[in-house]
Chain A
Amino acid sequence: MFHVLRIPRDLKVPRDDGRIFLLYRLSPDRIPRCGVIPFDFSPHNCYHTGHFLLEKSIMISDWGFIGIFFFLAIFFPIVPILTGVLLGPHKPGAVKNETYECGIRTRGPARIQFRASYYLYALVFLIFDIEAVFLFPWAVAHGQFPLYAAVEGVLFLFLIGAGLAYVWRKGSLSWR
């Protein structure tokens, strides 16, 4: 079932070779127990234990596991809720079903207009959220770029900062 490979002790793989990441994953403690990875070695079919790599015929991908996890996670809240529905009494009444506003009789519809301030905050948030998508890859790679690329990222960051200053100046960030 397993194909067991012995790993030579002297390990040298350049950092930007895609496989170093794999090695790193296999031995997160970075103890140099692993050696040169065999050429035909693929990231998704091996386990690392001690001095060996156990090669397996198939392995569920990372996102496959996330899929399984989310599928199971749906049941974690649903099972108690269903239990509650089954075990609890069920005696609805006209008064009981009323909207609960601390005993005061409800007036008007619940779907009221909301103030524009909330909308403005959500809009500013959106800009920063999109910015974050650009910043994360840049933060990962800034060490490998030449210096001007790192500076450029900082300029981009400050550009967004200037946007924030503009919104601030316009008074959109003060609660009214």
Chain B
Amino acid sequence: MGDLFTTVSNWLNGILAEAGIPPEAAEWIFAVGRAFLLGVSGLLLVVFLIWFERKVVARMQDRIGPNRVGPYGLFQTLADMLKLVLKEDMVPPQADKILFHLAPVLAVIGVVGLWAVIPLAATAYGVDLNVGVLYLAATGTLGTLGILMAGWSSRNKFALLGAFRTVAQLVSYSVPAMLAMLVPVMLSGTMSLAGIVAAQDGFWFGVAAPLAALVFLIASLAEVARAPFELLEAESEIVAGFHVEYSGIRFGMFFAAEFLHAFTIGALLAVLFLGGWRGPGAAEFPTLGALYFAAKSFAGYFLLVWVRATLPRIRIDQMLDFCWKVLTPAMIVLIGALVLVNRALAGTSMWVRNGALLGVNVLVAAGVISLLSRSQSQSHAGAHGRAPGKGAQPCALAGMGDEAEAAS
């Protein structure tokens, strides 16, 4: 019973073999079934995630949250989905039809596609690609493309502004995210996600390189475009951003993709930095490992929800400055130092090596914080002489004015 996944697959294999299905066909049936199961469970998970997030945020804001439909309001999301499906499906006549229809589909594919490679347990994963991390980086970009398409094709100024911000934000933050993903690849010496999890049997990479884990979390938070980074759909500034013109379940698809993506970030954090399915007894009992993995992913997701409930939205210039002037240089220095230390101490014991890596992380983090506080005190000193104007204005309104002027 320790390995539920292998037991079930062996059992199904036996059934297929007894039914006289040739092994080639059985292999295909298996692959299709696995893909279907992964994708559907991912999308069904969204139903639970939305409920979870609404409940948690409600508690943090001293509210009760959904509690009418079903026990503890569990079926609220189902009711909402039903409502969305029954809403009128509007396609604005001025829209670019092909891109408009394609955008929500791409947004969902870009997120669901990530689950093909994530190892859920020692023996349960869709596929273990030997270039898994690169695959993650590439597939994650599809969602960005979907958002860009939605904004461009809607023929709506607000949607287009949302799309512009997509380019600036999602594209910028994928740089530190990729650099942060480089750290587990470097420490494990493989790009396969199962390999990365396997390499964390002594130390989690999040313990050896906490700064990289933090940068990955922040950059991914920006890539899912959730608070405090939800500039592309900032309600108070640009209506609803890139999905203004979407209604009904089409809008619901963007919504579902966003929620699943946020959870996927939690899962990736677990796989890359928190040891994936690793835990006491997980190697002997893969079923237990799946539980550990789920617990770690939900912990990561809870962190995202917590941040969302806590922090206000940041301005676009702050957002871009933080990416290019703090995270990216810090990651460049960190990776350089980590590689040299890791290479130099290759032969030493695990404790010495990981201790040194941790030391490098702490040093770089301390350097970043001291530089930041110094530049902040400088800019505070300089702020008195500056005329109030652009910097003080809410950025979107300032941007809107400029862009409208440029258009006229």
Smallest distance from the beta carbon of A133 to chain B beta carbons, Å?
8
Q: Which residues of B contact A161 (CB under 8 A)?
A: 329, 332-333
- Annotate A55-94 by CB proximity to B: 1 below 8 A, 0 otherwise: 0111110111110111011101110110111011111100
B382 close to A (CB within 8 Å): no
Q: Interface stretch among A6-14, A34-42, A124-132?
A: A124-132
Q: Report the bound CA distance from A31 to B174 in whole Å.
A: 36
Interface string of A97-108 (1 = CB under 8 A from B): 101111000101
* Chain A residues positioned under 8 Å from B38 (CB to CB): 69
B324–A124 touching, CB < 8 Å: yes
> Does B116 sit at the interface, judged by CB under 8 A?
yes
- Evaluate contact between A69 and B126: CB separation under 8 angstroms: yes
Contacts of B155 in A (CB 8 A): 99, 110-111
On chain A, the number of residues with a Cβ less than 8 Å from chain B's Cβ atoms is 85
By a CB distance below 8 angstroms, the chain A residues around B186 are 139-140, 142
Which listed residue, B35, B116, B320, B336, touches A173 by the CB 8 Å rule?
A: B320
The residue of chain B having its C-beta at the shortest distance from the C-beta of A65 within the complex is B127
Check B167 against A122 for contact (C-beta < 8 Å). Answer: yes
Given contacts A64-B31, A153-B339, contact A140 B105 (CB under 8 A): no
- Determine if B70 is an interface residue (Cβ-Cβ < 8 Å): no
Q: Which segment of B59-67, B156-164, B293-301 sits at the interface?
A: B156-164
Chain A residue numbers with a CB within 8 Å of B226 are: none
Chain A residues within an 8 Å CB radius of B1: none
Interface of B, helix, strand, loop or mixed by DSSP: helix
Partner pick for B156 among A89, A101, A115, CB 8 A cutoff: A101
Distance in angstroms from A148 CB to nearest chain B CB is 10
Docked pose: A59 CA to B90 CA in angstroms: 45
Q: Which residue of B lies closest to A58 (CB)?
A: B24
A164 & B324 in contact (Cβ 8 Å cutoff): yes
Q: How many of chain B's residues touch chain A, expressed as a range? A: 35 or more
Beta-carbon contact of B198 and A28 below 8 Å: yes
Closest residue of A by beta carbon distance from B173: A125
Cβ of A30 within 8 Å of any chain B Cβ, yes or no, is yes
Q: Kindly list chain A residues whose C-beta atoms are within 8 Å of the C-beta of B157.
A: 99, 101, 106, 110, 112
* Contact present for B88 and A88 (CB under 8 Å): yes
Within 8 A of A (CB), among B136-191: 137, 154-160, 164, 167-168, 171-172, 174-175, 178-179, 182, 185-186, 189-191
- B190→A140 contact, CB < 8 A: yes
In the complex, chain B residues whose CB is within 8 Å of the CB of A80? 85, 249, 252-253
Instruction: Tell me which residues across on chain B come within 8 A of A110, comparing CB atoms.
Output: 94, 154-157, 159-160
Find chain A residues with CB under 8 A from B253 CB.
77, 80-81
Residues of A within 8 A of B328 (CB): 128, 164
Q: Which residue in chain A gives the minimum CB-CB distance to B186?
A: A139
Query: Who on chain B is nearest to A175 by CB?
Result: B317
B252's closest neighbor in chain A, by CB?
A: A80
**Residue on B with the closest CB to A132?**
B178
Q: Tell whether, in the assembled complex, residue B332 and residue A88 are in contact, meaning their CB atoms are under 8 Å apart.
A: no
The listed residue (B129, B190, B342, B403) touching A112 by CB distance below 8 A is B403
B residues near A91, Cβ cutoff 8 Å: 88
Q: Mark B341-368, 1 if CB is under 8 A from A, else 0.
A: 0111010000000000000000000000
A77 and B178 in contact, given A28-B122, A29-B122, A150-B339 (Cβ under 8 angstroms) = no
Report the minimal beta-carbon distance from A72 to chain B, rounded to whole angstroms: 5
- The CA of A149 and the CA of B201, in the complex, are separated in Å by 28
Complex Cα–Cα for A136 and B186 (A): 8
Pairwise interchain contact A151-B340, C-beta atoms closer than 8 A: yes
B109 touches which of A29, A74, A89, A157 (Cβ 8 Å)? A74
A144 to B186, CA, bound (A): 11
Q: What's the least CB distance linking A97 to chain B, in Å?
A: 5
- CB-CB under 8 A from A49, the residues of chain B are 6, 10
- B130 in the interface (beta carbon within 8 A): yes
Please indicate the chain A residues that have their CB under 8 angstroms from the CB of B325 in the complex: 168, 173
Q: Which 6 A-B pairs have the closest CB atoms?
A: A175-B317, A84-B249, A112-B407, A77-B108, A29-B283, A139-B186
Interface of B toward A, CB cutoff 8 Å: 6, 10, 17, 23-24, 27-28, 31-32, 34-36, 38-40, 43, 84-90, 92-94, 104-105, 107-109, 112-113, 116, 119, 122-123, 126-130, 133-135, 137, 154-160, 164, 167-168, 171-172, 174-175, 178-179, 182, 185-186, 189-192, 194-195, 197-198, 201, 239, 244-245, 248-250, 252-253, 282-284, 286, 316-317, 320-321, 324-325, 328-329, 332-333, 335-336, 339-340, 342-344, 346, 395, 399, 402-404, 406-408
13 A-B pairs within 8 Å (CB atoms) are namely A1-B17, A70-B113, A72-B36, A72-B39, A73-B108, A80-B253, A84-B248, A84-B250, A97-B90, A102-B239, A121-B171, A136-B182, A139-B339
